[in-house]
Structure 1
Amino acid sequence: MIIEQILKDKGREVVTLKAGQSLRAAAQLLDERRIGAVVVVGEDDGIVGVLSERDIVRQVARLGAEALDMEVGSAMTRAVVTVEAEEPIRSALQLMTDRRIRHLPVVRNARLTGFVSIGDLVKWKIAETEAEAEAMKSYLSAQF
């Protein structure tokens, strides 16, 4: 199974912010949408970063409440790891584990087409494992 199939199930909506917006606005958006991260886009809508709850918490821990007035561009993760829509899910899971990241922008032809979280991939893995177990039970019950 590939990442594209997860996007077909969960949808392609990607919540984005501009780098000039405040961390306060970002935190409010994350809360409203009940999500853990957003893709930060430039003027051309290209990916320039990812801002997660952890990024905000780090800034608040360093600067206190005044951190909420700083710009997203100052707190975001700039070294964005992306995944192609055709990437096998197992490979994406390995990438996220190796790089210790929880969110991956999905691209096709260098354009943002979706966003997946470790939760999305684990949900798929659990469903796959349950389907395999059910198939094995059916096979064994037919044999005996």
Structure 2
Amino acid sequence: MTVKSILDQKGRDVFTVRPDITVSEAGIQLSKHKIGAIVVVDSTNKICGILSERDIVRAIAENGPAVLDNPVSSVMTSQVKVCSENHSINELMEMMTEGRFRHLPVEIDGKIGGIVSIGDVVRMKIEQIEREAEEIKAYITS
């Protein structure tokens, strides 16, 4: 199983924002789309950063509610870990566990090509395990 198989199943749509919108506006987008992170891109769709709910909470805790009027670029994670369509689910689990993050943008030719969440990874891993269990059962009974 690879990132490509996840994206083929769930789709490649990604909600993005520009680095100059306010943290408050980005928070509204997170809530509106019921997502936990939003990718920050420039005008060419190159990934500049990622903003998660955790980033917003951390910024408010450190700087107070006035930070909501600041640009996303001031609180986003700018050193974004990305993956490619060729990464395996096990590689994703390792990257997410080591980095302690729940969302991983997929980069294709230097631009945003999708996003994978920990929920996507867990869902695919469960499907893989169930499929293997069925194959073992079929092998044993045949």
TM over 0.5, yes or no?
A: yes
Give the Cα–Cα distance (whole angstroms) in 2 for the partners of residues 67 and 90 of structure 1: 37
Give the Cα–Cα distance (whole angstroms) in 2 for the partners of residues 51 and 73 of structure 1: 9
The question of 1:127 aligning with 2:127 is answered: yes
1:26 aligns to what?
A: 26
Give the Cα–Cα distance (whole angstroms) in 1 for the partners of residues 48 and 111 of structure 2: 12
Identity %: 42
TM-score by length of 1: 0.93
Give the Cα–Cα distance (whole angstroms) in 1 for the partners of residues 110 and 41 of structure 2: 13
TM-score by length of 2: 0.94
CA offset at residue 110 of structure 1?
Answer: 1.6
2:67 aligns to what?
A: 67
Give the Cα–Cα distance (whole angstroms) in 2 for the partners of residues 34 and 47 of structure 1: 21
Moved more, 101-110 or 15-24: 101-110
CA offset at residue 99 of structure 1?
Answer: 1.7
CA offset at residue 129 of structure 1?
Answer: 0.7
Give the Cα–Cα distance (whole angstroms) in 1 for the partners of residues 138 and 74 of structure 2: 55
Moved more, 103-112 or 116-125: 103-112
Give the Cα–Cα distance (whole angstroms) in 1 for the partners of residues 99 and 53 of structure 2: 17
Moved more, 122-131 or 83-92: 83-92
1:38 aligns to what?
A: 38
CA offset at residue 136 of structure 1?
Answer: 1.6
2:48 aligns to what?
A: 48
List aligned pairs for 1:42-121, cutoff 5 A. 42-121=42-121
Unpaired runs of at least 5, structure 2 = none
Give the Cα–Cα distance (whole angstroms) in 2 for the partners of residues 75 and 27 of structure 1: 12
Moved over 4 A (4+): none
Letter of the 1:91 counterpart: E
Instruction: Provide the secondary structure at the position in 2 that maps to 1:50.
Output: strand
Unpaired runs of at least 5, structure 1 = none
Moved more, 1-10 or 99-108: 99-108
1:141 aligns to what?
A: 141
Instruction: Provide the secondary structure at the position in 2 that maps to 1:84.
Output: coil
Instruction: Provide the secondary structure at the position in 1 that maps to 2:39.
Output: strand
